[in-house]
C-alpha cells in the first residue's frame, strides 16, 4: 500500500510538470472526434486503450467516444529490423506501409502514437538508428498534418524493464535518449506525453518488473500507460483499482468493443507483417459494433446526470 501511494504521488508530480507545458487537450475536447491509437505490440494488445476509453465513457457519460486501437506487433517508425527477427522468418513491419490507407480509411481527427521500443532494434545507441527513428517521427507528423489530423499526441516509449544501474548495456538507455528527443518535438498540433519518465519513476517504487520479458508490460504496466494519458487529459483515475475496474460491466463492454473494432478495422485497412492481409470491407462488423455500442450506452445511464 505504501508503494502504491508513493507511485501515485510520483506520477502526479511528473504529470503536473508535463501539463505545465500547455498544449494538452482535455477529455472534453475529444468529444465527437475520431481518435486513433498507433503503435507496436503494446498498443495492439490494447489493454491501456480499454482503460482510457472506459474512463472517458464513465467520466463524460452523456457523450460517446470513437476510439480505434490500430497498433501492429513488431512495428517500427524507423523501418529497421534485426537480421534474425522472428527467427529470420520476416522483417519488422514499418508503419508507412499502411499509414496512407489508414489515414484515408479511418479519417482520424486525433492520433496518439507510441513508438520507440522496437526502433532501436535492441542495440546500443548510434547515429544511424537514431536518425532513422527521428525521420520516422517527423514523417508521421507530416503525414498526419497533411491529412488533416487536428492534434497528434506523441507518447514516449515505455521502459525496457530492467532496473537502472544493473551494469552492462541496458537498452533502456536508448529509449531514454529517444524519449528526450521526442519531448523537443512539442509544437502547434503536436503534444508530447512523457510516458518513459513516468514509467521509470513508477518502476523505482517496485521490487517486481512490469514486464516479464522486459518489453511487454502486464496489466499494471498498461494501467501506468493509461494513467499517463488520462492525467494528461485532465482526468484523475488513481482512486480506482484494477480489480474494481475490470469487474465493472461497463469496462467489460468497452474492452469487447475495442477488441472487435481493432480486429475489423485492421483487416479493413490491411497490413503486412508475417504475411500480407489485403484490405477487406467492414460489412457485418459494423452491425456488431452498433450492438456493442448500444450495450455501452445502456450501461452508462447509471453515470449520466
Q: What is the pLDDT of residues 100-122, one digit of tens each?
A: 999 999 999 999 999 999 999 99
CA distance 22 to 17: 10
Q: Whole-number mean pLDDT of the chain? A: 90
Residue 17 is given by DSSP the state H
In the chain, DSSP assigns E strands to 34-39, 66-69, 110-114, 151-155, 190-193, 271-272, 276-277
Q: How far is CA 152 from CA 8, 77, 109, 140, 145, in A?
A: 26, 15, 9, 9, 8
CA distance 45 to 92: 17
Q: Return d(Cα 111, Cα 149) in angstroms, integer.
A: 7
For residue 113, give the 3-state DSSP assignment. Answer: strand
**Residue showing cell 469487474:** 247
Q: What's the CA gap between 9 and 12, in Å, rounded?
A: 5
Q: What confidence tier does 166 reach under pLDDT thresholds 50, 70, 90?
A: confident
Please give the average per-residue pLDDT across 213-220, as a whole number: 96
**SS3 letters across 176-191:** HHHHHHHHCCCECCEE
Helix/strand/coil for 291: helix
Query: What are the domain boundaries of the chain?
Result: 2-243
Domain spanning 2-243: which CATH class is it, in words? alpha beta
Interacting residues of 235 by C-beta distance below 8 A, sequence separation 6+: 27, 55, 56, 59
Which is it for the CA torsion 36, 40, 44, 50, positive or negative?
Answer: negative
Q: pTM of the full predicted structure?
A: 0.91
What confidence tens digit (pLDDT) does each residue in 245-292 have? Answer: 999 999 999 999 999 999 999 999 999 999 999 999 998 899 999 999
Q: How confident is the model at residue 171 (pLDDT cuts 50, 70, 90)?
A: very high
Strand order in the sheet with 34-39: 66-69, 34-39, 110-114, 151-155, 190-193
Length of the chain: 305
The pLDDT confidence band at residue 145, using thresholds 50, 70 and 90, is: very high
Amino acid at each position: 500500500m505504501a508503494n502504491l501511494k508513493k507511485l501515485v504521488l510520483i506520477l502526479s508530480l511528473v504529470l503536473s510538470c508535463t501539463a505545465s507545458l500547455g498544449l494538452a487537450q482535455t477529455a472534453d475536447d475529444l468529444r465527437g472526434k475520431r481518435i486513433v491509437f498507433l503503435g507496436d505490440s503494446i498498443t495492439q494488445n490494447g489493454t491501456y486503450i480499454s482503460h482510457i476509453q472506459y474512463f472517458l465513457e464513465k467520466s463524460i457519460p452523456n457523450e460517446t467516444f470513437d476510439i480505434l486501437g490500430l497498433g501492429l506487433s513488431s512495428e517500427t517508425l524507423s523501418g529497421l529490423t534485426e537480421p534474425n527477427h522472428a527467427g529470420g522468418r520476416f522483417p519488422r513491419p514499418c508503419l508507412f506501409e499502411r499509414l496512407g490507407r489508414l489515414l484515408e480509411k479511418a479519417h482520424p481527427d486525433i492520433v496518439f502514437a507510441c513508438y520507440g521500443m522496437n526502433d532501436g532494434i535492441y542495440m546500443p545507441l548510434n547515429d544511424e538508428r537514431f536518425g532513422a527513428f527521428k525521420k520516422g517521427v517527423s514523417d508521421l507528423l507530416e503525414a498526419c498534418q497533411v491529412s488533416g489530423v487536428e492534434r497528434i499526441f506523441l507518447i514516449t516509449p515505455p521502459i525496457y524493464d530492467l532496473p537502472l544501474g544493473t551494469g552492462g548495456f541496458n537498452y533502456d538507455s536508448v529509449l531514454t535518449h529517444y524519449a528526450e528527443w521526442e519531448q523537443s518535438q512539442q509544437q502547434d498540433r503536436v503534444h508530447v506525453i512523457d510516458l518513459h519518465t513516468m514509467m521509470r519513476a513508477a518502476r523505482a517504487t517496485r521490487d517486481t518488473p512490469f514486464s516479464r520479458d522486459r518489453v511487454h508490460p502486464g496489466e499494471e504496466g498498461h494501467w501506468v500507460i493509461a494513467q499517463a494519458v488520462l492525467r494528461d487529459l485532465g482526468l484523475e483515475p488513481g482512486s480506482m483499482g484494477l480489480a474494481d475496474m475490470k469487474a465493472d460491466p461497463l469496462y467489460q463492454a468497452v474492452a469487447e468493443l475495442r477488441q472487435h473494432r481493432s480486429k475489423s478495422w485492421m483487416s479493413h485497412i490491411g497490413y503486412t507483417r508475417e504475411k500480407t492481409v489485403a484490405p477487406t470491407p467492414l460489412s457485418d462488423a459494423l452491425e456488431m459494433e452498433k450492438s456493442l455500442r448500444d450495450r455501452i450506452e445502456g450501461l452508462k445511464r447509471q453515470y449520466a446526470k
